[in-house]
Amino acid sequence: MPTLFEYFGIIIKFFSNEHEPIHVHAYYNDAEIKVSFFIKDGKIYRTTYVLEHGNFPINKEKQLKKLISKHKDDIVKLWVDFFVLKKDITPIRITKI
């Protein structure tokens, strides 16, 4: 399960056997939010957030949404790199968004 980003306790990962739509799993303590990206004509036209389990604090959810908004194109590129091109992923520690 490659880690993509770490941001003040929020960890964003792919599972190693993922499926479409392109999505990531965001963790904070015992909580998980699944973030999916819907793409049409090469552009992300919708992003959804689904609480999978636990209690993701409101302030952390706001930070997550800001982080995703800023890095969504990077996430899609990392998805292609990892699942299509079979490249290794190096986690990125983000200190400000």
Spans of all domains in the chain: 3-93
Q: What Å distances lie between residue 68 and 12, 37, 85, 86, CA to CA?
A: 10, 10, 23, 23
- What local confidence, expressed as pLDDT, does residue 95 receive? 85
Burial class (CB in 10 A: 0-12, 13-18, 19+), 42: exposed
| DSSP 8-state secondary structure symbol assigned to residue 81 | I
- Contact present, 75 and 68 (Cβ < 8 Å): yes
pLDDT tens for residues 25-49? 999 999 999 999 999 998 999 999 9
Mean pLDDT of 7-21: 85
